[in-house]
């Protein structure tokens, strides 16, 4: 990854802001997408030369007041503004622990919960590596098994994509959440390798990654299709696991009494039958 992540982020977000949304009057043909550098500088109350130095990486220690002013001009929400401040805090970048630790342990209590919760559930780390999963989660989607990376399977495995009828709509949020999750940990070799692999293998990932969108890690509704039980509409919850470096417990559940709930029950029976046959 580039060593000028602050400048890349500023440029990417600047190019996504429509001048009229920033209160500017547009006349004639504009060759520059979004806002011009000097427009951002003027609206933020700083010199054009100083803003240019920020984008070029020649000044990496802007004040909090300058960052807040730029965030306002770029229309950044709370999560994106916090991400911007994190990129500017180079000391925080150096202190950040590795985002991916392959021997990263899952608390024993959480592992026990996976076995008894009765819902598709798995544990992921900040890089979206699946660290542990129950049989029902793997039955719902093979990409939800320990050892997989959710980004890799969703972008590079066509069979996994086929399980999500609204795959294209969900991927933007997933990439934005990934960027929020890894934060300023841009020098982690495993993260760099993963982003490089996805960039080479998926045009969709390259396009979404270049936007530099940032969104909070949150649950939501997801539609899925399963070859044995059909279509499901599930609620995905992401719960922080205390005492870990950003691990999340991810659960899927359906509205009680709904067709999706009945489909999940059937899937559980099929998974149990398969497990019993394997054990025997």
Over residues 96-142, the pLDDT tens digits come to 444 454 457 999 999 999 999 999 999 999 999 999 999 999 999 99
How many Å apart are CA 168 and CA 154, to the nearest integer?
A: 10
Express each pLDDT in 207-258 by its tens digit: 999 999 998 888 889 999 999 999 999 999 999 999 898 899 999 999 999 9
Q: Are residues 23 and 151 in the same domain?
A: no
CATH code, domain with 26: 1.10.260.40
100 domain residue, yes or no:
no
Q: What is the DSSP letter of 102?
A: T
82 domain residue, yes or no:
yes
Rounded to an integer, the average pLDDT of 172-190 is 84
102 domain residue, yes or no:
no
Other beta carbons within 10 Å of 254: 18
pTM recorded for the entire structure? 0.81
- pLDDT for position 98: 47
- pLDDT for position 275: 64
How many Å apart are CA 80 and CA 188, to the nearest integer?
A: 21
Q: Are residues 267 and 228 in the same domain?
A: yes
Confidence label for 2 from pLDDT (cuts 50, 70 and 90): low
Q: Are residues 259 and 180 in the same domain?
A: yes
How many Å apart are CA 49 and CA 38, to the nearest integer?
A: 8
CATH code, domain with 177: 3.30.450.180
Of the residues 95, 121, 136, which one is the last residue of a structural domain?
95
Tokens 């969709």 label which residue?
A: 204
The tally of domains found in the chain comes to 2
Confidence label for 169 from pLDDT (cuts 50, 70 and 90): confident
Q: Are residues 135 and 272 in the same domain?
A: yes
How many Å apart are CA 220 and CA 139, to the nearest integer?
A: 20
Q: Are residues 39 and 67 in the same domain?
A: yes
Q: Are residues 266 and 146 in the same domain?
A: yes
How many Å apart are CA 275 and CA 134, to the nearest integer?
A: 12
SS3 call for 257: coil
130 domain residue, yes or no:
yes
Residue 43 lies in domain: 5-95
Is residue 35 left, alpha or beta, with left meaning phi > 0 and alpha meaning psi from -120 to 50?
beta
Q: Are residues 192 and 142 in the same domain?
A: yes
CB-based burial label for 251 (10 Å; 0-12, 13-18, 19+):
buried
Residue 260, pLDDT above cutoff 90:
yes
Q: What is the dihedral of CA 49, 25, 83, 206, to 10 degrees?
A: -100
Q: Are residues 144 and 79 in the same domain?
A: no
Q: Are residues 34 and 127 in the same domain?
A: no
Of the residues 95, 116, 145, which one is the last residue of a structural domain?
95
Please give the structure tokens belonging to residue 227.
């070859």
196 domain residue, yes or no:
yes
Contact assessment for residue 104 and residue 168, using Cβ atoms and an 8 Å cutoff: no
Residue 273, pLDDT above cutoff 70:
yes
Instruction: Supply the mean pLDDT for the chain.
Output: 88
121 domain residue, yes or no:
yes
Q: Are residues 86 and 202 in the same domain?
A: no
Q: Are residues 137 and 216 in the same domain?
A: yes
Q: Are residues 112 and 64 in the same domain?
A: no
Please state which of the ranges 22-36, 152-166, 210-224 shows the lowest mean pLDDT.
22-36
Of the residues 95, 125, 147, which one is the last residue of a structural domain?
95
Rounded to an integer, the average pLDDT of 74-86 is 90
């Amino acid at each position: 990854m580039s060593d000028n992540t602050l400048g890349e982020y500023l440029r990417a977000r600047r190019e996504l802001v429509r001048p009229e949304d920033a209160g500017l009057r547009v006349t004639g043909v504009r060759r520059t997408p979004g806002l011009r550098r000097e427009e951002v500088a003027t609206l933020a109350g700083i010199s054009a030369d100083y803003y240019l130095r920020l984008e070029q990486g020649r000044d990496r220690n802007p004040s909090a007041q300058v960052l807040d002013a730029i965030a306002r001009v770029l229309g950044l929400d709370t999560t994106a503004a916090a991400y911007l401040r994190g990129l500017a805090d180079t000391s925080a970048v150096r202190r950040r622990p590795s985002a991916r630790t392959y021997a990263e342990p899952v608390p024993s209590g959480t592992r026990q919960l996976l076995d008894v919760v009765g819902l598709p559930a798995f544990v992921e780390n900040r890089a979206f590596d699946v660290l542990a999963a129950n049989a029902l989660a793997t039955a719902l989607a093979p990409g939800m098994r320990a050892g997989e990376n959710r980004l890799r399977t969703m972008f590079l495995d066509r069979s996994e994509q086929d399980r999500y009828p609204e795959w294209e709509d969900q991927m933007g949020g997933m990439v934005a959440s990934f960027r929020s999750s890894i934060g300023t940990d841009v020098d982690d070799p495993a993260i760099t390798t993963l982003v490089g692999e996805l960039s080479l293998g998926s045009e969709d990932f390259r396009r979404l990654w270049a936007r530099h969108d940032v969104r909070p890690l949150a649950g939501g509704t997801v539609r899925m299709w399963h070859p044995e039980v059909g279509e499901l509409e599930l609620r995905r919850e992401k719960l922080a696991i205390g005492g870990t470096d950003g691990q999340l417990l991810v659960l899927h559940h359906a509205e009680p009494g709904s067709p999706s709930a009945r489909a999940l029950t059937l899937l559980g029976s099929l998974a149990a039958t398969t497990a019993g046959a394997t054990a025997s």
